[in-house]
Amino acid sequence: MLTDALKRGQKALSEYDSKRLLAAYGIPVTREGLASDEDQAAALAAEIGWPVVLKGCGAELMHKSEGGWVELNLRDEQDVRAAYKRIAGSGARGLEGVLVQEMAPGQRELVLGLSRDPQFGPCVMLGLGGIFTELIKDTVFRMAPLDLVEARDMTEEFRSKAILGAFRGQKPADIQTLCRSLIAVGRIGLELDEVGEIDVNPMIVDPRGGLKAVDALVVLKRAEDA
Ligand code: ADP
Ligand code: MG
């Protein structure tokens, strides 16, 4: 997948492909499928279960909500058909299909990331996601590879860690899965030279504590650097 994407001159993987890569490393992602027509979108939604989210998907579509290509909380087939028409008719350049995915419940949003530092190599980031990301700028970094203790330390150093605990009647986040996901992001950085950066924004913590990446972006290194 990465080699093909580089050959095609892509700068990034689409959300769909980015999540397939993360899932291959054991990171939990939304149930989803790519539709290329309205009937397919409706069939996928019925299979995934309501409510669903529809998104314009393509390697060049990066800021999807700004472009108007994210339609949340669609409750029935009529909603899905209408949303499909809006996205497909938006004239988005580089639209490769419409992503139909489960709508993750919950308001707690985290950001996980991978960056490459010229001195320290691949570094893993954990941060606060959602509407407060810019305001609070709460991020923690560790160099890859991470072991379980280091991953655990990240969740402890995280100033917003209270949202990982029991919160407004919601269960504590599944810390084990969060730690495994942080370790996995670091492994991708060490094992896959083609990957320049990863941005999982957000990973949602559901009311029962379960975690799921609902958006992901894998940025590729330029072919000559990989
Ligand atoms: P963007 O490319 O603009 O970052 P996202 O896919 O992150 O687009 O969607 C924007 C926002 O919509 C997310 O930050 C999240 O709050 C919400 N969202 C997106 N997908 C889902 C989903 N499957 N379940 C619940 N909320 C979602
Ligand atoms: Mg996002």
pLDDT at position 223 is 57
Our answer on whether the CB atom of 215 is closer than 6 Å to any ligand 1 atom is yes
pLDDT at position 224 is 57
**What span, in angstroms and rounded, lies between the C-alpha atoms of 59 and 73?**
24
* Top mutation candidate among 63, 214, 217, 218 for ligand 1, by most atoms within 8 Å of CB: 214
Our answer on whether the CB atom of 202 is closer than 6 Å to any ligand 1 atom is yes
Secondary structure of the chain as H, E, C letters: CHHHHHHCCCCECCHHHHHHHHHHCCCCECCEEEECCHHHHHHHHHHHCCCEEEEEECCCCCCHHHHCCEEEEECCHHHHHHHHHHHHCCCCCCCCEEEEEECCCCCEEEEEEEEEECCCEEEEEEEECHHHHHHHCCEEEEECCCCHHHHHHHHHHCCCHHHHCCECCECCCCHHHHHHHHHHHHHHHHHCCCEEEEEEEEEEECCCCCEEECCEEEEECCCCCC
**What span, in angstroms and rounded, lies between the C-alpha atoms of 172 and 206?**
9
* Top mutation candidate among 50, 215, 217 for ligand 1, by most atoms within 8 Å of CB: 215
pLDDT in tens, 134-148: 888 899 999 999 999
Domains in the chain, CATH or no CATH each: 31-102 (3.30.1490.20), 108-220 (3.30.470.20)
How sure is the predictor about 131, in pLDDT bands with cuts at 50, 70 and 90?
A: confident
Identify the residue whose C-alpha is closest to ligand 1 atom 5.
Answer: 215
Our answer on whether the CB atom of 103 is closer than 6 Å to any ligand 1 atom is yes
